[in-house]
Structure 1
């Protein structure tokens, strides 16, 4: 399968942070920003695969500085790495004080998406071709993040064997005596 340039998956979203988007500190709700991140990352994954995708994991969302009410928030996403059916997507978030023009990198995130074929099962995706120094750095460090995801997935599977869905939390942990 022929590779695709990372730039072909690039997506951008900008929004004005309104009062309903903020918490009692006057800063943007983390969950609201996470919703923006997942939405934009999915667009990048679909652009790369040209297939429907599902979010397999949100590896990290690192909040670096607060986003204040009245500021703008600009998100940029792109596919940094692919495996057989999965794609790692990087999202960077920049906030801008619209009155002063000061801009800051306020969050970064890595997510993994899986492409789906017509049968709804995972389907092959094209490899990526990095061009810029930023793209090459993210591409070259992707295998390490992929290994961390594999270990975390194994932990989650072990947790699922312990925490069943048909017992209340307290009963599972011995808090309730029968």
Structure 2
């Protein structure tokens, strides 16, 4: 039996200030810089869960719902949603705050997948994730569907093998 670990133990709260070097010519945070910050926060979360070196395996649809402006404070919140044998799904939310005006908006959300590896770079088992709150359970329950969808889209699983996705693919 795998060791168990509460998902709350993987929570990461990271804060950055958007500086001129982080922005494009419209004074918005560059998308690549945002992805960089998201990858760091999510990797730290996966490391906290696994107590191992982790590598990014995939990034799901990163949507940019609102621009983040020069001078905004960016807060990234990441937490493991579920673990499999050596992989972990991490959910991340990004908030942008304009401190002088007191406005705060949700700017980005995504799911990242990480694989824990040993010193030689080989995948290694991770603890089972234990969801406790209503939100954690909701994300945990959806993680298998999201994983199967990633595997099907990546060509690593046949649609008919994706037991959680049969309704989406309307398989016989």
Q: TM-score range by the shorter chain?
A: 0.7 to 0.9
- Displacement of 1:18 in angstroms is 1.1
TM-score between both structures, scaled by the size of structure 1: 0.83
1:124 aligns with 2:118: no
In structure 1, the residue matched to 2:170 is none
- Displacement of 1:60 in angstroms is 2.2
1:19 aligns with 2:13: no
Cα deviation digits, residues 29-70 of structure 1 (max 9, x gap): 000010000011111111100111111111221111110111
- Where do 4+ consecutive residues of structure 1 move more than 4 Å? none
Cα deviation digits, residues 102-130 of structure 1 (max 9, x gap): 11110001111001124421111111111
Q: Distance in 2 between matches of 1:31 and 1:97?
A: 21
Q: Distance in 2 between matches of 1:125 and 1:105?
A: 31
Q: Distance in 2 between matches of 1:138 and 1:12?
A: 18
- Displacement of 1:75 in angstroms is 0.2
Aligned residues: 155
Secondary structure at 1:27 match in 2? coil
Q: Distance in 2 between matches of 1:51 and 1:31?
A: 26
- Change in 2 beyond 3 A, CA 1:70/1:115: same
- Displacement of 1:82 in angstroms is 0.8
In structure 1, the residue matched to 2:141 is 140
Contact 1:60 1:111 in 2 (8 A): no
Aligned-residue Cα RMSD (Å) equals 1.2
Q: Distance in 1 between matches of 2:134 and 2:101?
A: 30
Alignment of structure 1 residues 49-60 onto 2, 5 Å: 49-60=50-61
Gaps of 5+ in 1: 156-178
1:63 aligns with 2:35: no
TM-score between both structures, scaled by the size of structure 2: 0.86
In structure 2, the residue matched to 1:154 is 155
- Displacement of 1:95 in angstroms is 0.5
Greater Cα radius of gyration, structure 1 or 2: 1
1:44 aligns with 2:45: yes
In structure 1, the residue matched to 2:169 is none
